[in-house]
Amino acid sequence: MIDNNNVILDVRAISRHFGALKAVDRVSFQVRKGEIIGLIGPNGAGKTTITNLVTGDLKKNAGEVHYKGTDVSSMQPFQIARIGLTRTYQIVKPLQGMTVEENVLVGSLYGRGNRINDLSNARKTVHDVMELVGLYKKKDFMVSDVTLPDLKRMEFARVLAMDPEVVFLDEVMAGLNPSEVEESMELVKKVREDRQLTIVYIEHIMKAVMGISDRIIVLHHGKKICEGSPQEVRDNPAVIEAYLGKKYAKEVMKANE
């Protein structure tokens, strides 16, 4: 259940410029506890850059990020992760030469609250998380011997093992076939409920975004051009134009008159 008054993440006018290129230009948004927020836009819109700015992987030129009421703008990525604001990566980054379980174990040992886990407690956490994401039977596989969908589940599990409150999922469905996309959609919804997680969800697969998001934020050329329910975003002329061009947007609007 979403608490509409409980803002857990407050992004305030963040910007990042690379020379003359404004990759992110004064973007603001709020995320409420328990929401799944879709973050969409054409290639180069600034989605991953925003993720990097919020989680500390990239320095901001301007703006602030407040998590649970605390300004985390000057914190290092590991510090932000340890207070419960985490992310996955667009390109899966397994720790090679290790098993699936060992990869997830790193997250559990590192987890929220600067905790020092003993190995037995950490393993219990890992087993619970791997059961949740459907990877337990492959816990002893080497990461080099599992499929791309399993690697994406493993990265998700590694983040969940850190016991986060907010997770940015960066294109976790890229490269998956339609049935795998359906499974991933169900997994994201299941994890939200089971772990009481807040999720910001970056994805190009519109079926997935529209199917699981409570709200959607649309970026184009580094700016926020629209925010609303999936229905509102789908019908917004600026969004149609950003994805399909001005000519098609005019035709859609004329057809809807």
> Do residue 129 and residue 2 come from a single domain?
no
CA separation, residue 40 to residues 49, 68, 91, 206 (Å): 12, 24, 17, 9
Are residues 79 and 120 located together in one domain of the fold? no
* pLDDT recorded at residue 1: 44
Residue 130 has a pLDDT of 94
- Decide the pairing of beta strands 166-170 and 198-202: parallel
Q: Give the per-residue pLDDT at 255.
A: 54
- Residue carrying the six token digits 């003359």: 20
Q: Examine residue 176 and state whether it is found in any structural domain, yes or no.
A: yes
Distance of CA 208 to the CA centre of its chain: 13
Q: Which two tokens stand for residue 87?
A: 């992310």
Query: How many domains would you assign to the chain?
Result: 2
- pLDDT at residue 53, rounded to an integer: 97
Block means of pLDDT (10 residues each) for the chain, 257 residues, are 74 95 96 95 92 96 96 94 92 92 90 68 90 93 93 92 93 84 90 92 87 94 94 87 62 53
Burial (CB < 10 A; 0-12, 13-18, 19+), residue 130, is buried
Q: Is residue 249 part of a domain?
A: no
Residue 239 lies in a domain: no
Q: Where are the alpha helices (DSSP H) in the chain?
A: 47-54, 77-82, 100-110, 119-133, 148-160, 178-195, 206-212, 230-234, 237-244, 246-256
pTM: 0.88
pLDDT, position 174:
79
Q: Does residue 146 share a domain with residue 52?
A: no
What's the pLDDT score for residue 56?
A: 95
Residue 245 lies in a domain: no
